Amino acid sequence: MKHTAFAAISAIALTAAGVAVAEPQAEVLHWWTSGGEAKSVAVLQKEFADNGGTWTDMPVAGGGGDAAMTALRARVLSGNAPTAVQLKGPAIQEWYEEGVLADISSVAEAEGWADVLPEQIAEHMKCEGAWCAAPVNVHRVDWIWANKDVLEANGIEMPTTWDEFNAAAEKLQAAGIIPLAHGGQAWQDATVFETVVLGLGGPEFFQQALVDLDPEALTSDTMVAVFDQMRTLRGYVDDNFSGRDWNLATAMVMNGEAAFQIMGDWAKGEFLAAGKVPGEDFLCGSTPGEGFLYNVDSFAMFDVKGDDKKAGQDLLAELIVGPSFQEVFNLNKGSIPVRTDVALDKFDDCAHLSSEDMTASAEGGALLPSYAHGMALRGAQAGAITDVVTAHFNSDMSSADAVQMLADGVANSM
Amino acid sequence: MARWFETHLPKIVLAPSFIAVLIFVYGFIGWTAWVSLTRSKLLPKYEIVGFIQYDRLFASPRWDTAMTNLYIFGGMFIVISMVLGLILAILLDQQIRVEGAIRTIYLYPMALSMIVTGTAWKWILNPGLGVQAMVQGWGFENFKFDWLVNPDMAIYTIVLAAIWQSSGFVMALFLAGLRSVDTEIIRAAQIDGIPTWRVYTAIIIPSMAPIFLSAFIVLAHLAIKSFDLVIALTGGGPGYATDLPATYMYAMAFSRGDVGQAASSAMIMMLVIFIIVVPYLYSELRAKND
């Protein structure tokens, strides 16, 4: 209360002193608190300050964003939403339906976002046609990472089909190497699952099953085959995988204990941080099959009162999509710029591959949202699918039972 | 005036806490009950649509697992903790030396938070780091102790850690109970030449019935609200094999934006506590009225 009074008085004082333009204010709620991520946010903070804005940082760590969402809920219910919140995928529309998001179309149109963002990704940033969020980066989820020395020593190429992968895995297992480094956490099981769905079913099937939730696709023979492949993959994972964090799995690939890991391109950050060089120490490739699964981080803009806050919101949106921030941020984070017109000279080979595949997939209709990372479905539906995937992967459930549970679970989550 | 103040002082002093409890406990129970009858998703909504959230809850295989785990965990935790606590208390009651030190050692796990207990046991039980790796390192290559990563056995690791933490506390309760039994009766029995085990089964333990009840109530509510131990020890995994109702509720409310579903599971948890506590309250109140 005291604070508000103080702010009000200083605002009056400033007006009296003849400051005509409201000073941009932004309170930003995010959960980028670990090493590389914190560095990336600091970049945005600095740019914001350089443009005359006042940034109020509101980092809420913990639970992969769960803690931040709880804080957000409390703030929204008390009628005091932050200016911008790290939100992604259908969660943006979910909050829009609660009637608390702002319209930033004026900035988006002035900056020509529609021309520089891939169409599929731009759709996620719109609420009933109006822009309500600003995209930050594109993470690719369907990556397979490999230890180059291990592959060469065993005469294995990067697999391009799941059959090739299985054959390679058998060979590695015979040589006493763990074929697949994996951490037994539900979201990691889901990550592997969706790459198998994409690989075995193709982009069209992925769309039907994990985006449109078509019951026929969910119970189809293709889905049974996907669960069969998951069971096969379970055999390529070491016995001690339960509860392992993803970065520990990445370390297993790094030190040659394991050959492959299926994980989004944040894993590249781990390799680079350990001083490994792409193409020399480790290899990156898309998981078997065609298509591109994206995981786009973004900031949703909440409805705030006061010219200074609105000005801050507009400035923030402009900077986030601006080319300079896109480059610096993504170099720090391991992802690629969401703008297609940013030069990639400073980026590594994996990022180039990612960018080329994104452009090609966007044209072929194979640019798809990741379900495991909350881009394709709302929390309740995605959670219902993950429950089945992880229950199947961690037990001896048959594929037929899993498919039935999948259809029932999805129906029950509506 | 002073007299009025004197007679009403207790009421005035108690009023704030009474009002706080009324709002923050019973008020919010009522609020949760209301929300559990709505279609609330991200934020609570207040249009009542009936029992749809409960239908969804009972159709969910994950909730089934959570409830089954609650029965396994609750049953084993309560029974084994009480048996172990009683045995420890009786053994300590034999006028042994350094009783004070031993009592402290057994009671000490209670001083740890569940998070610490869970993390420590996670390392002890991890097949690649803990007991299994150690025994295999001694040369017993075939030794296997992989409960933590085995979905059928993982719930028992939680039972194990919880018993380790709580049986010392139960022991302290029982020890106090044993000491409160009238020594005259025990002496009389000894003079009559009754064997010690008969003294325990026929005199001491039956006279400790209220202590049993208190221990049971304390352990039962610990079991039902168990959350931190599961999060630290298994994170609900492998898969969701060690989910308990409290972790289910957390997942629905905070990870999945399904507030209505979370509210309905909270109501069922409360119902389970009622089923256990109401007979206790009833017997207590009746005892007082007699």
Say if residues A184 and B149 touch (Cβ distance below 8 Å): yes
Structural domain B61-289, CATH architecture: Orthogonal Bundle (1.10)
Spell out which chain B residues touch chain A, with contact meaning CB-CB distance below 8 angstroms: 41-43, 56, 59-62, 122, 126-128, 146, 148-149, 151, 234-235, 237-241, 251, 254-258, 261
Residue B183, number of CB atoms within 10 A of its CB: 8
Please tell me whether residues A267 and A159 are part of one structural domain: yes
Please tell me whether residues A381 and A323 are part of one structural domain: no
Please tell me whether residues A257 and A406 are part of one structural domain: yes
Please tell me whether residues A199 and A344 are part of one structural domain: no
Put simply, the answer to whether A379 touches B255 (Cβ < 8 Å) is yes
Tell me the backbone φ, ψ of residue A368, rounded to 5 degrees.
Answer: -125, 150
Say if residues A266 and A40 touch (Cβ distance below 8 Å): no
Please tell me whether residues A163 and A30 are part of one structural domain: no
Whole-angstrom Cα Rg for chain B: 24
Please tell me whether residues A50 and A132 are part of one structural domain: yes
**Domain harbouring A39, CATH code:** 3.40.190.10
pLDDT at B290: 58
Please tell me whether residues A131 and A148 are part of one structural domain: no
Per residue in A80-106, pLDDT tens? Answer: 899 999 998 898 998 998 889 999 999
Chain A hits for B151, CB-CB cut-off 8 Å, are: 394-395
Which of A321, A351, A381 marks a domain boundary?
A: A351
ipTM of the complex model: 0.77
Per residue in A323-359, pLDDT tens? Answer: 888 988 888 888 899 988 888 888 888 899 999 999 8
Please tell me whether residues A81 and A31 are part of one structural domain: yes
pLDDT at B25: 92
Please tell me whether residues A69 and A92 are part of one structural domain: yes
User: Which strand (E) or helix (H) includes residue A268?
Assistant: helix A266-273
- Residue A219 included in any domain: yes
Cα–Cα distance for residue pair A355/A138, rounded to 1 Å? 9
- Residue A6 included in any domain: no
Q: Give A16's pLDDT tier (boundaries 50, 70, 90).
A: very low
* Contacts of A205 by beta carbon, 8 Å cutoff, 6+ apart: A197, A217, A220, A222
List chain B domain ranges.
Answer: 61-289
Per residue in A33-89, pLDDT tens? Answer: 876 678 778 888 998 999 888 999 888 876 667 788 888 988 888 888 999 999 988
Best mutation target among B54, B58, B121, B255 (most A Cβ atoms within 10 Å) is B255
User: Which strand (E) or helix (H) includes residue A265?
Assistant: none
Average pLDDT, rounded, for chain A? 87
Interface of A with B in 268-297 (CB under 8 A): none
Say if residues A179 and A167 touch (Cβ distance below 8 Å): no
- Residue A2 included in any domain: no
- Residue A113 included in any domain: yes
Please tell me whether residues A103 and A251 are part of one structural domain: no
In this prediction, residues A218-235 reach a mean pLDDT of: 94
Residue of A nearest to B125 (CA): A240
Residue of A nearest to B63 (CA): A387
Q: Give B20's pLDDT tier (boundaries 50, 70, 90).
A: very high
Chain A hits for B60, CB-CB cut-off 8 Å, are: 409, 412
Residue A8, number of CB atoms within 10 A of its CB: 10
Number of domains in chain A: 2
pLDDT, greater one: B10 or A64: B10
Of A258, A244, A310, nearest in space to A145 by CA = A258
pLDDT at A21: 58
pLDDT, greater one: A7 or B182: B182
pLDDT exceeds 90 at position B57: yes
Q: Which of A45-49, A214-218, B228-232, B276-280 has the lowest mean pLDDT?
A: B276-280
Q: What's the gap in Å between the CA of A310 and the closest CA on chain B? A: 24
Per residue in A171-190, pLDDT tens? Answer: 999 999 999 999 888 899 99
Residue B238, preceding bond cis, omega within 30 degrees? yes
In this prediction, residues A191-208 reach a mean pLDDT of: 94
Please tell me whether residues A302 and A208 are part of one structural domain: no
Q: CA quadruple B138, B140, B142, B146: dihedral positive or negative?
A: negative
Range of A134's domain? 22-138+295-351
Per residue in A275-330, pLDDT tens? Answer: 888 889 999 999 998 899 999 999 999 998 888 888 999 999 999 999 888 988 88
Tell me the backbone φ, ψ of residue B37, rounded to 5 degrees.
Answer: -100, 10
Residue of A nearest to B59 (CA): A412
CA angle (A333 as vertex; A329, A334 as ends), nearest 5: 120
A397 touches chain B (CB under 8 A): no
User: Which strand (E) or helix (H) includes residue A86?
Assistant: strand A84-87
Which of A351, A372, A399 marks a domain boundary?
A: A351
Size of interface A-B (CB pairs under 8 A): 93
Question: Pairing mode, if any, of strands A126-127 and A130-131?
Answer: antiparallel
In this prediction, residues B212-220 reach a mean pLDDT of: 88
Say if residues A236 and A173 touch (Cβ distance below 8 Å): yes
CA angle (B134 as vertex; B132, B140 as ends), nearest 5: 75
Please tell me whether residues A101 and A229 are part of one structural domain: no
Tokens encoding A332: 């720090």
pLDDT at A259: 94
Tell me the backbone φ, ψ of residue A295, rounded to 5 degrees.
Answer: -135, 105
- Residue A8 included in any domain: no
